């Protein structure tokens, strides 16, 4: 039997839960937490919704992810070496060390 996600649409409750029952059975209408007839079955894929971004939203998400990746890369030498390749990382470090000695 499939698992279904539900939410209470009452603004003061907003309780979320999962239930397993046959597709032939009507979904519950009563919230198990507040007891009000405000329950609604959600449509989802395996318990997690899928969001597709397009246009400006996609571009903004890519920029945000790129900034985060750069911050992670520059704050951790191991990640930086993995991103640019160990040989290039060691060559860069050697060059920087030589400049410091001068």
Compute how many other C-beta atoms are within 10 angstroms of the C-beta atom of residue 6: 19
Whole-number pLDDT of residue 46: 58
pLDDT at 81 over 60: yes
Q: Is 37 found in the same domain as 65?
A: no
Whole-number pLDDT of residue 44: 63
In a domain, 93, yes or no: yes
In a domain, 15, yes or no: yes
In a domain, 46, yes or no: no
In a domain, 68, yes or no: yes
Number of domains in the chain: 2
Residue range(s) defining the domain that contains residue 24: 3-41
Q: What is the mean pLDDT of the chain?
A: 87
Q: Is the pTM of this model over 0.75?
A: no
In a domain, 48, yes or no: no
Nearest alpha carbon to residue 28 among 43, 10, 41, 42 = 41
State how beta strands 39-41 and 3-8 pair: antiparallel
pLDDT at 93 over 60: yes
CA distances from 52 to 33, 35, 55, 58, 66 (A): 32, 35, 10, 8, 18
Whole-number pLDDT of residue 45: 60
Helix (H, G, I), strand (E, B) or coil at 41: strand
In a domain, 49, yes or no: no
Q: In this predicted model, what pLDDT tens digit does every residue of 31-80 receive, in sequence order?
A: 999 999 999 998 766 555 556 778 898 899 899 999 999 898 889 888 88
């Amino acid at each position: 039997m499939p698992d279904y996600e539900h939410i209470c649409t009452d603004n003061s409750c907003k309780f979320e839960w999962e239930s397993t029952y046959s597709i032939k059975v009507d979904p519950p209408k009563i919230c198990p937490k507040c007891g009000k007839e405000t329950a609604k079955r959600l449509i989802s894929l395996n318990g997690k919704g899928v969001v597709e971004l397009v246009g400006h939203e996609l571009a903004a998400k890519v920029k945000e992810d790129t900034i985060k990746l750069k911050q992670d890369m520059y704050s951790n030498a191991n990640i930086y070496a993995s991103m640019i390749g160990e040989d290039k990382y060691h060559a860069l470090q050697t060059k920087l060390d030589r400049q410091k000695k001068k």
